[in-house]
Amino acid sequence: MDLGLSGKVAVITGGSIGIGFAVAEALAREGVHCALCARNEERVKKAAKTLEERYSVRAIGVRADVTRPEDIDAFVEEIRKTFGGADILINNAGTGSAEKIMDAPDERWQYYWGLHVMAAVRMSRKIIPFMIERGGGVIINTASICARQPLDYEPIYNVTKAALVMFSKCLANEVIKYNIRVNCVNPGLIRTPDWDKTAQIVSREKGMTPEEYLDRIAKDNAPIGRFATPEELAHFYVFLCSPLASYCVGSTYYVDGGWLKCTI
């Protein structure tokens, strides 16, 4: 099936590993050129090179910490110089947290607010003018099932991801007049390196292997009984980026194997 994406340019934050790289690879497979950013320069440049070699697209990898406005500015300038603009923005950079509300200092709240919310705000403000010049575009924000169904050990993550969902809705209403579609994806259990790292630590405390720990997490939470791969999730992003999803505007989609325990 031709998804009508060949020749488009996608910008993906947190694009060197996990969900971000899986989405980049899935888009590159459709002929989409990619601009990736991440904090690890070596890894993000290697990711871009991999896309070019495997899929014969143009790709750049730029070191950027998206909590820093000056890094965003530098990244966007590289996008402008290399591609002249962009058609797709995936605001994906983020990570889990671990704290209690009564213990976490203001600085920790501010850091995750900058990472999960303000980075998406700033990237969107910078990339939307390119999209307007090109006659439209697509923005997808990666939030989390925790935006609706919180986990007790990471309240800051829960709160900032919930804010990202509302930002997505507000932005969608504001820019649809420019033929720019904004949506949000709330993943559930996706087997990323962060989960593998957690499993290595927690499994030792529980006297089980990392695989046994992850299997228990999946069976205790997701009716499907397993984690998804980042590649499985990426297929859905590609559909949302394509003209086939032309009536998908301002929505939040759960890709969670049935984990969400409510319907509204």
The one catalytic residue in 157, 213, 237, 254 is 157
Query: What is the Cα–Cα distance from 141 to 183, expressed in whole angstroms?
Result: 7
Beta bridge partners of 177: none
Note whether 151 and 166 are within 8 A (CB): no
Nearest CA to 104 out of 160, 149, 147 is that of: 160
Query: What is the Cα–Cα distance from 102 to 105, expressed in whole angstroms?
Result: 8
157 noted as active-site residue: yes
DSSP single-letter state for residue 67: T
22's CB contacts (< 8 A; 6+ apart) are 229, 230, 231, 233, 234
Which run of H or of E encompasses 182?
A: strand 180-187
106: phi then psi, degrees, rounded to nearest 5: -55, -40
Token code pair at residue 174: 């504001």
CA 154 to chain centre: 18
- Annotated active-site positions, please? 157
